[in-house]
Amino acid sequence: MPANIGEFCVPFGVPEILQSGTDITIVTYGAMCRIVLDAAKQLAEETGISCEVIDVQTLLPFDRYHMITQSIKKTSRVLFTDEDVPEARRPLCCSKCWMYRKPGNGWMPLQLP
């Protein structure tokens, strides 16, 4: 455990942009931050997709200054990730991921493995 653990302060309701990007906004928190950053790096290297990764940091309040909305307006796409889906429900809950596209293009289902 770090010696300065009591010196950390996270403002409530203020997300942190972990990585700037232009193609898609990925919103996450907790242990998923590391996983999403690794995936964003892999996407950039293999496909050239630029991911903006946002750590919400607190769930209540969620996003007091609408930073996530601003990011979605910039990228026109969003993916919310959450680690709290039991493996038994994975085929039901995670067999499809819905990605938002620009107005007029509707919703696009993205099949996950």
pLDDT of 47-104, one tens digit each?
A: 999 999 999 998 888 899 999 999 998 998 899 988 765 554 443 333 344 444 444 5
> Does a structural domain hold residue 68?
yes
User: In angstroms, rounded to a whole number, what is the distance separating the alpha carbons of residues 43 and 14?
Assistant: 26
Give CB contacts under 8 A, 24+ apart, made by 65-73. Answer: 65/13, 65/14, 67/14, 67/15, 67/17, 68/15, 68/25, 68/27, 71/17, 71/25, 72/25, 72/100
CB atoms within 10 A of CB 27: 23
* Sheet arrangement for strand 51-55: 16-19, 51-55, 24-28, 78-80
pTM: 0.70
> Residue 42 is part of which domain span?
12-85
| pLDDT tens for each residue of 8-44 | 788 899 999 999 999 999 999 988 999 999 999 999 9
> Does a structural domain hold residue 108?
no
> Does a structural domain hold residue 101?
no
CB 15 within 8 A of CB 56: yes
Domain count, the chain: 1
The structure tokens 């085929």 sit at 91
Give the CATH number of the domain where residue 21 resides.
Answer: 3.40.50.920
Position 11 scores a pLDDT of 86
